């Protein structure tokens, strides 16, 4: 069984990783929102679905983008792209475009666009089956939704891989900015019982509050207006984390830069002490990059192991 000192040091470190993981998450969301990373990934995926490398695919994507339903999610009409799209709405837009192609009163070349899509295009395959009576309109809509979902699964994996790289970079910057050196913090908490006790107490008293932060969902946002609202919320969250959490734990955990310390550290950048500090920052960045949900779950389990924190309700 772990003795109380080791357990309290672990709780202190996990608590710190949780706070800074939340900070990294909110910073990443700001970056993602500002540069429209989700929207760009979704746009690229849909372009590939419609064979945008071909002339017909480019025309079909333009019809898709100009659809009123898609434009309703764009703040400046003709500019931008939704960051999230429900499968049913994607299917509706595709079917509307297809139905439009059968209207002889509308002067357009949508029919020829669809007919000239590559044979390998899955949408063309679905529409051909529908034309031949192999499937009903309900089946067509369902198949388009399933196709969209399967592509989005792959797109999410692609997006998450890119976000992980961004998270690691963000985490390293945060570790250096707040001088969060895991090795130094571990040594301090091991020796300073008062700091350990205060950190453990903070973790015990605030675990429910962090649960609300961890549960925040910033993925399913369709319009630019909602993105801007979310960005303002994220800015508020970052300010709250820094003002209420980070500032209150810097001194007890040995974080932050003392006057002249940063300049001295840079002057001795080839010393063994600097290399150890650099290792401490890297360890911190790697820990932060694991994400707030990971550290929250671990903190909750350790608290229960210690006999504190949120207890499960017993039903009879």
Could you report the per-residue pLDDT of 86-113, keeping only the tens digit for each?
Answer: 999 999 999 998 888 776 655 457 777 8
The reported pLDDT for the residue numbered 106 is 56
Residues 104 and 214 in one domain: no
The secondary structure of the chain in percent helix, strand, coil, rounded to multiples of 5, reads 75, 0, 25
d(CA 292, CA 30): 16
Domain of residue 89: give its range: 38-155
Domain boundary among 155, 178, 209: 155
Largest alpha-carbon pair distance within the chain? 82
Residues 124 and 206 in one domain: no
The reported pLDDT for the residue numbered 105 is 58
Is the pLDDT reported for residue 228 higher than 80? no
Is the pLDDT reported for residue 245 higher than 80? no
Q: Is residue 315 part of a domain?
A: no
Is the pLDDT reported for residue 189 higher than 60? yes
d(CA 293, CA 22): 9
The token pair at 101 is 């192609």
Residues 166 and 177 in one domain: yes
pLDDT in tens, 10-65: 999 999 999 899 888 888 888 887 888 888 999 999 999 998 788 888 989 999 99
Count of Cβ atoms closer than 10 Å to residue 24 Cβ: 26
Residues 43 and 31 in one domain: no
Residues 246 and 268 in one domain: yes
Q: Is residue 82 part of a domain?
A: yes
Residues 166 and 299 in one domain: yes
The reported pLDDT for the residue numbered 76 is 67
The reported pLDDT for the residue numbered 84 is 86
Q: How confident is the model at residue 231 (pLDDT cuts 50, 70, 90)?
A: low
* Angle formed at CA 109 by CA 41 and CA 60, multiple of 5 degrees: 5
Q: Are 42 and 83 in contact (CB under 8 A)?
A: yes
Is the pLDDT reported for residue 66 higher than 60? yes
> What is 219-279 written as a DSSP string?
S---SHHHHHHHHHHHHHHHHHIIIIIIHHHHHHHT-S--TTHHHHHHHTTTSHHHHHHHH
Domain boundary among 91, 126, 155: 155
The reported pLDDT for the residue numbered 179 is 93
Q: Is residue 129 part of a domain?
A: yes
Average pLDDT over residues 244-252: 75
Count of Cβ atoms closer than 10 Å to residue 56 Cβ: 20
Residues 82 and 136 in one domain: yes
Domain boundary among 131, 155, 179: 155
Q: Is residue 15 part of a domain?
A: yes
Q: Is residue 311 part of a domain?
A: no
Kindly report which listed range (68-77, 105-114, 124-133, 243-252) carries the lowest average pLDDT score. 105-114
The reported pLDDT for the residue numbered 209 is 76
The reported pLDDT for the residue numbered 314 is 39
Is the pLDDT reported for residue 130 higher than 90? no
Average pLDDT over residues 247-264: 81
Q: How confident is the model at residue 238 (pLDDT cuts 50, 70, 90)?
A: low
Q: Is residue 142 part of a domain?
A: yes
d(CA 163, CA 291): 11
Residues 15 and 42 in one domain: no
Residues 167 and 220 in one domain: yes
Residues 211 and 177 in one domain: yes
Q: What is the pTM of this model?
A: 0.74
**Is the sign of the CA dihedral 22, 26, 31, 37 positive or negative?**
positive
The reported pLDDT for the residue numbered 267 is 80
Q: Is residue 312 part of a domain?
A: no
Kindly report which listed range (118-132, 165-179, 227-241) carries the lowest average pLDDT score. 227-241
Count of Cβ atoms closer than 10 Å to residue 282 Cβ: 17
More confident residue, 235 or 38: 38
- Residue % of the chain over a pLDDT of 70: 85
Classify 58 as helix, strand or coil: helix
Domain count for the chain? 2
Residues 260 and 175 in one domain: yes
d(CA 84, CA 37): 11
The reported pLDDT for the residue numbered 90 is 94
Residues 178 and 139 in one domain: no
The reported pLDDT for the residue numbered 224 is 46
For tokens 């009903």, the residue is 136
Mean pLDDT of the chain: 82
Q: Is residue 316 part of a domain?
A: no
């Amino acid at each position: 069984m772990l003795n109380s000192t080791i357990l309290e040091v672990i709780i202190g470190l996990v608590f710190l990783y949780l706070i800074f993981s939340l900070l990294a998450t909110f910073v990443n969301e700001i970056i993602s929102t500002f540069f429209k990373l989700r929207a760009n990934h979704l746009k690229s995926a849909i372009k590939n679905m419609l064979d945008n490398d071909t002339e017909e695919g480019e025309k079909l994507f333009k019809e898709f983008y100009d659809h009123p339903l898609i434009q309703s999610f764009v703040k400046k009409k003709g500019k931008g792209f939704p960051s999230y799209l429900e499968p049913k709405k994607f299917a509706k837009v595709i079917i509307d475009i297809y139905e439009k192609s059968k209207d002889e009163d509308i002067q357009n070349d949508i029919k020829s666009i669809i007919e000239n899509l590559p044979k390998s295009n899955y949408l063309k395959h679905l529409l051909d089956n529908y034309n031949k009576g192999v499937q009903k309109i309900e089946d067509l809509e369902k198949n388009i939704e399933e196709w969209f979902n399967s592509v989005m699964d792959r797109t999410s994996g692609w997006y998450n891989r890119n976000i992980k790289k961004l998270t690691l970079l963000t985490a390293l910057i945060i570790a250096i900015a707040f001088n969060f050196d895991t090795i130094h913090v571990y040594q301090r908490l091991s020796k300073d019982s008062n700091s350990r006790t205060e950190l453990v107490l903070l973790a015990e008293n605030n675990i429910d509050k962090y649960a609300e932060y961890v549960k925040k969902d910033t993925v399913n946002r369709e319009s630019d207006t909602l993105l801007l609202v979310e960005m303002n919320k994220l800015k508020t969250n970052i300010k709250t984390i820094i003002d209420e959490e980070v500032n209150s734990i810097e001194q007890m955990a040995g974080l932050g830069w003392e006057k002249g310390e940063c300049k001295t550290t840079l002057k001795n950048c080839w010393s063994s002490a600097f290399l150890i500090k650099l290792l401490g920052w890297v360890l911190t960045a790697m820990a932060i990059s694991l994400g707030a949900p990971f550290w929250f779950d671990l903190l909750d389990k350790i608290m229960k192991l210690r006999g504190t924190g949120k207890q499960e309700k017993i039903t009879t």
